Amino acid sequence: MAIDYKKTAEEIIKIVKRENIISAECCATRLRLIVKDRESIKDSDVQKIDGVKGVFFNSDQYQIILGTGVVNKVYDEVVKLGITASSQKNDDKDIKKSDDKNKFRKFIRIFADVFVPIMPAMIATGLFLGLKGALINDSFLGLFNLQVSNIPISVMTFMSVLTETTFAFLPALVCWSAFRVFGGSPILGILLGLMLVSPALPNAYLVANPDSGVKPIMLFGFIPIVGYQGSILPALIAGMIGSKLELKLRKIIPNIIDILATPFLTLLIMLFLSLAVIGPIFHTVEQWILIAINFSLSLPFGLGGFIIGFGIIFIVVTGVHHIMNLIEISLLASTALNPINPLLSVANLAAGAACLAVTLKTRRKSLKAMGYGAALSAWLGITEPAIFGINIRYGIKPMVCGAIASGITGLIVRLLNLQGTANGVTGIPGILLYIYDTKQLIGYISVSILTIILSFAITWFFGVPKEYMQEDDE
């Protein structure tokens, strides 16, 4: 019998009591109600409601398990019935109580709250990118006596839209989610994020390509201004500060001009800060990363492979990993081979394997719901869903275990002198970059399998924190 979502929502509100509910939100499987008095709620009555599979209480959140698909529909009805949708300002008390003694845990919680809502878009893009890398590739097409140039422009355009849109406008998604989490106006977050990737700004990827001729705009003659295509941390910081600024302005600006002055000042101030302060800081970080990677590649005994293999996943977290394009393109231009690609590949494969280990071992249905897709996405070259959705959700142990595995196999990569013939394709589709030589192909496949096994084993035995082992219906 089909569930009456509106009736379920009404019964939940009636039993929990409307005046007891501060706000509501939902995750993959649970309706989460922030309540004033947990003791006044009768769990047995809630569990009798049609569609409810269990309840539990954690960190001031009364969590009702409804299952994937159902929870979103019930949540929509709850909001329609007048319950406030949750934001960070509603949750500050909850976070403060549980996380004040552990600031790092609070930081990780913020990452999870911001990135979980945009995971579906990133996972889908990872799948599209993997398909494109596997099919639209000269090495693969050569088996059929074809080249990429033989593919119709309409097909290439269609594939480009599918694979490039999410990451081209990623700052807009991140800013939107950050404004939502921290209590600002999500529409201002979207607009600020779009400004960070405005076509009026030099494209970050083109700036990273020495052959493009595109240079940063120099503000005041010494501050480099570029776009933030594919960046994460700058957009996150801009979203966090921007939402707090908006809330502050709404308190001090008279109501009669609030609707005009607050959005105007928020966007004006935040765009300047983002381009003139946050951006240049990360530009400097990029330059140091460039120097460090070039130095690492020159180290003997494959040590550079270990350093890069271990460290690249942490660079991804900072959002400045597009600097790798500069190194890869420079190497391809001078030698026609790319020794960075296999190191990026083992890092992606390790992140996916760590994600899979957590997904299989966790008792949290909410993590299992997204874990398999996130792992596959990482193996196809897009690691953000695995990193932010699973591997650092309740601590960084899974990410560190994956990094250790990719560091070990990265060392092997350098000892075997594995080198791809292009850039931009990693993980499973990256196999196509090594079919030019039998030894290279066998080496890449062997190292890839070893990476997955090693990362999975290390994470399974040592990298799953106790928080992952708590059942959603406890």
Contact of 119 with 388, CB cutoff 8 Å: yes
Residues carrying an active site annotation: 27
